[in-house]
Amino acid sequence: MNIRNIAIIAHVDHGKTTLVDKILHATKVFRDNQDTGELIMDSNDLERERGITIFSKNAAVVYKDIKINVIDTPGHSDFGGEVERVLKMADGVVLLVDAFEGPMPQTRFVLQKALALGLKPIVVINKVDKPNCRPDEVHDAVFELFFNLDATEEQLDFPTFYGSGKNGWFNDSLTQIDNINPLLDGIVKFVPEPKVNEGALQMQITSLDYSSFLGRIAVGKVARGVIKENQQIALMQADGAIKKMKIKELYVFEGMGKKKVSQVIAGDICAVVGLEEFNIGDTIADVENPEALPVISVDEPTMSMLFGINNSPFFGKEGKFVTSRHLRDRLMKETEKNLALRVEDTDSADSFLVFGRGILHLGVLIETMRREGFELTVGQPQVLVKQINGAKHEPYEILVVDVPSEYSGKVIDLVTQRKGEMLIMETKGEMQHLEFEIPSRGLIGLRSTMLTGTAGEAVMAHRFSEYKPWKGPIPGRNNGVLLSKTTERTTGYSIDKLQDRGRFFVDPGEDVYAGQIIAEHIKPGDLVVNATEAKKLTNHRASGSDDASKAAPKILMTLEECMEYIQADECIEVTPKNVRLRKTILNEEDRKRVSKAMASEMA
């Protein structure tokens, strides 16, 4: 069997997708004169804009008459659910590590999953052309990481390759060459052929594809037996139900696309068309002798947000999908392919609790829905609290910060204010490497304040560690907000007069409504202001006082920054054209009544 199945895993930005590009070029998937651009596998618009991989993808190349199925995986811990399930299709992993940064939190997370599945690792130390890189130290750190993760003797004996994905070379030593053939030879030599058991057909569905012509497509690795076109099969579901179905078409991966085939043998990865109502984790089995494979388990979500319909005065002006039925159907559809996501109904028919892995995980979902034409409101992210032995526990994360030495004091100060405890402090070249244990709550809103405090120099990464006892209150945002008094269009005249009260999120000439957050107050406490007043025109003119109004440009915040910014009584209105911050209760009198009632309850 001339097949190798490999997954490429690494921390975010260590060069996974660039390596896949080089493998595709080295194996002549494209014509020599074909312009393919960079990061070929990141085909989704959001992935291209953000420069990160969000969805895992398959490609297949042929090298020396051996077919190599390559799986590109995301590097962000928020998309860990995506990595966990696609590793089931692989027999070996290529672990990429940056020659300067060394093993990072996500390196540890994905490696732990790969070792637990018994996959054969190949270590690639990438970016050895960077200044200050330290490949030998990094190799020792990787070995130590393997050892700490209880790797077997066989896994500890991993082959190592060095090189630069950007410059297109990888070698088993630090000698620079002009191709990546040594790495491809290493994959063929060290990654075992797929393990195939004797017996009837078994194939687990580990990911989903979709085509507007063919509908939903099931993707997975054939574990044993042979799967054929027009074959009758049994679909075995997680709840124990067994459905009889017929396979219409079969495809295997070839280059960046798929090739139609009549049958697929055990060990290869294929796409199956014609199944209905299947979910990730279901087993395709022999109709006469059905046997299920163990269900895929994915780590639990750690954060929740309230998604509701848009109930602002501007409701329905920009979106196509605005009702709670549209919202519910879309969220339920997302849970089919996004295993780390959960959706629950609430007491209100207009809102749903959505559970995810982190701010970025939920932010990508909201951004995708916005581009599809949905209007919705989302509340403040909340961490999931558990009762363990009668005590309140919350999720903790390991936070890693690399920062120039002069800013390390500022970073330590910011993290300890949010109940973080320092575990490690060491010097890496000109940078200080700091590791903390911090409640997940403390991370919400930390990134923006840390970048401000370190002049944009801090590089931070974090991963979920465990549930530990509740740490008590954590200080949130210090400043209050300025709220619009009226529903009208803002004027430069009013904003100019209010500049000393706060920093604005809106420009002159924008439509705002009562209860919308239009600026950050310079003091604690909220203030209702009128930013829509026009200048009264009279016959009198005075030199000096009639200069044109000078409004500073508005502060632009990304969706994730908005999610980190809002407080418990605020929410974000998301429409295809705008992202607005607002109070959950728009009417000022109603807000006062609710806050008085809450204050009397507390008393």
DSSP labels, 202-224: EEEEEEEEEETTTEEEEEEEEEE
Average pLDDT over residues 579-599: 89
Average pLDDT over residues 460-478: 84
Same domain, 261 and 409: no
* Residue 419 amino acid letter: K
What's the CATH code of the domain at 18? 3.40.50.300
Q: Give the end of a domain, one of 190, 214, 235.
A: 190
Give dist(CA 442, CA 460) in Å, integer: 14
Domain boundary among 286, 313, 334: 286
Are 238 and 177 in a shared domain? no
CA distance 109 to 3: 27
β pairing state of 3-10 and 502-504: unpaired
Strand spans (E) along 21-112:
57-63, 66-72, 92-98
DSSP 524-543: SS-EEE---PPPPP-S---T
Q: Are 291 and 200 in contact (CB under 8 A)?
A: yes
Closest CA to 112 of 43, 11, 255: 11
Residue 84 has pLDDT above 80, yes or no: no
Total length of the chain = 603
3-state secondary structure of 387: strand
Same domain, residue pair 180 and 255:
no
Would you place residue 307 in the very low, low, confident or very high pLDDT band (cuts 50, 70, 90)? very high
Q: Tell me what the mean pLDDT of segment 530-546 comes to.
A: 71
Q: State yes or no: pLDDT of 209 exceeds 90.
A: no
pLDDT of res. 21: 79
Measured between alpha carbons, how far is 245 from 231 in angstroms, rounded to an integer? 8
Pair 46, 182 in one domain: yes
State the pLDDT at residue 413. Answer: 92
Rounded Cα distance between 585 and 544, Å, is 42
Q: Is residue 276 within 8 Å of 245, Cβ to Cβ?
A: yes
The structural domain count of the chain equals: 4
- Residue range 292-320: mean pLDDT, rounded: 86
pLDDT at 581: 93
Q: Which residue has the higher pLDDT, 182 or 238?
A: 182
Give the pair of three-digit tokens for residue 105.
């939190």
Domain membership of residue 282 as a residue range: 202-286
pLDDT band at 416 (very low <50, low <70, confident <90, very high): very high
Q: Which two tokens stand for residue 315?
A: 């409701």
pLDDT band at 306; cut points 50, 70, 90: very high
- Cα–Cα distance between 338 and 356 in angstroms, integer? 10
DSSP code, position 516:
B
pLDDT > 70: percent of the chain? 93
Residue 404: strand pairing partners? 431
Q: Is the pLDDT of residue 83 over 60?
A: yes
Using the predicted structure, report yes or no on whether residue 491 has a pLDDT greater than 60.
Answer: yes
Q: What is the pLDDT confidence band of residue 366, given thresholds at 50, 70 and 90? A: very high
State whether 165 and 223 are in the same domain: no
Alpha-carbon Rg for the chain, nearest whole angstrom, is: 27
Q: Are residues 163 and 243 in the same domain?
A: no
On whether both 100 and 174 belong to a single domain, the answer is yes
Q: Judge whether 196 lies within some domain.
A: no
Domain identity same for 165 and 257: no
Q: Quick one: 139 and 280 in the same domain?
A: no
Tens digits of residue pLDDT in 159-179: 999 988 888 888 888 888 888
Summarize the annotated binding site for GTP as residue ranges: 13-18, 126-129
In a domain, 296, yes or no: no
Is it the case that residue 382 has pLDDT exceeding 70? yes
What's the pLDDT score for residue 46?
65
User: Any idea what DSSP says for residue 255?
Assistant: B
The answer to whether residue 194 scores a pLDDT higher than 90 is no
The answer for residues whose C-beta is within 8 angstroms of residue 478's C-beta and 6 or more apart is 524
Name the binding residues. Answer: 13-18, 126-129
**pLDDT at site 32:** 52
Local structure of residue 578 (DSSP, 8 states):
-
